[in-house]
Structure 1
């Protein structure tokens, strides 16, 4: 998957080095919002940090072990979505996502996740997709719940971000459940 046109306003495109400047600017602009739930904003302090992340993502893509893509909305970089890994032996993956604060509430992640789920099951031949979110991050948790994922458990004290321990909810969707959805 290099590019998916979701609708007239939204598309998902694999991250490339040419996106580093826009990616950094979006992260920098949304640093406080993103940093409440995610650790990467504290590690992204320059365009070069974004470029290095993109290069690592492209390496993982070439190794068939996941990748990140950008979510474009009305011609602007709105956020990112990716397969955190692809386990071909267990036939599963985990989807991660985030949006810049100006793009929350537009339904973009739901649309992008739907395409990533379809791609995982129909093109990658996987059997399971997982999405994890902080227990208190109700907006992020709404995505898998809306898409028919089942809550599989809670991992206590999963992450320590900005002096706070966050429990993490694990959601899973099996291929046969998606077919019925």
Structure 2
């Protein structure tokens, strides 16, 4: 099992089949808050849907093409963070994240992203990490800003969600920039 300790209260662990019930309950209990910005809650209707998601994530992990990890806070599943893909040719990835509504505002996503960014640059030897966020999602936009990412632009009408088109802001961080920030 992959487990990365972030702090005494926080750790990340690859999502496994045994987490499906807990994952489903977290999504179901936060359906409105997560679904405002992301499409997957509208496709998650039962525990089996969470198992299918975990299966796809484990397959991507085995193929070296990204994965999703759970974010645990005080031994409770609080959300998820992951590499949406890994582009080995161009040496880049995109990080995605979400939290259950009861776990927002305590820094979990920022700390989880920081760990994945460090891993992407130091272990995976990537050159760029992106975080793409709905333009109106101020809480989520604060995370890449807090981590020193540069706003690289806006993709207009990126996706149609909840009856409206959402723009997507692209934030990027290069390996050299991250090294300077950490120094």
Instruction: State the TM-score, normalizing by the size of structure 2.
Output: 0.98
- Give, in angstroms, the shift of residue 164 of structure 1: 1.2
Written as runs of structure 1 = structure 2, the 5 A alignment for 1:22-61 is 22-61=22-61
Q: How does 1:92-103 map to 2 (within 5 A)?
A: 92-103=92-103
| Structure 1 alignment gaps of length 5 or more | none
Q: Secondary structure at the match of 2:12?
A: strand
SS in 1 for 2:156: strand
Aligned-residue offset at 1:88: 0.5
Shift of 1:2: 1.5
- SS of the residue corresponding to residue 20 of structure 2 reads helix
Deviation at 1:94, TM superposition (A): 0.1
Structure 2 gaps, min length 5? none
Partner in structure 1 of residue 137 of structure 2: 137
1:1-40 alignment runs, 5 A limit: 2-40=2-40
Q: 1:152, CA displacement in angstroms?
A: 0.4
How far apart in 2 are the matches of 1:44 and 1:60?
Answer: 19
Q: CA RMSD in A?
A: 0.7
3-state secondary structure, aligned to 1:96? strand
Q: CA deviation at 1:142?
A: 0.3
Describe the SS at the equivalent of 1:158. Answer: strand
Q: Within 5 Å, give how 1:75-94 maps onto structure 2.
A: 75-94=75-94
SS in 2 for 1:131: strand
**Number of equivalences:** 181
How far apart are the structure 1 equivalents of 2:35 and 2:160? 11
CA distance in 1, matches of 2:38, 2:164: 11
Report SS of the residue matched to 1:6: strand
The answer as to 2:159 corresponding to 1:179 is: no
Task: Give distance in 2, aligned partners of 1:100 and 1:8.
Answer: 20
Aligned counterpart, 1:158: 158
What is the CA distance between 1:146 and its match in structure 2? Answer: 0.4
**How far off is 1:3 after superposition?**
1.0
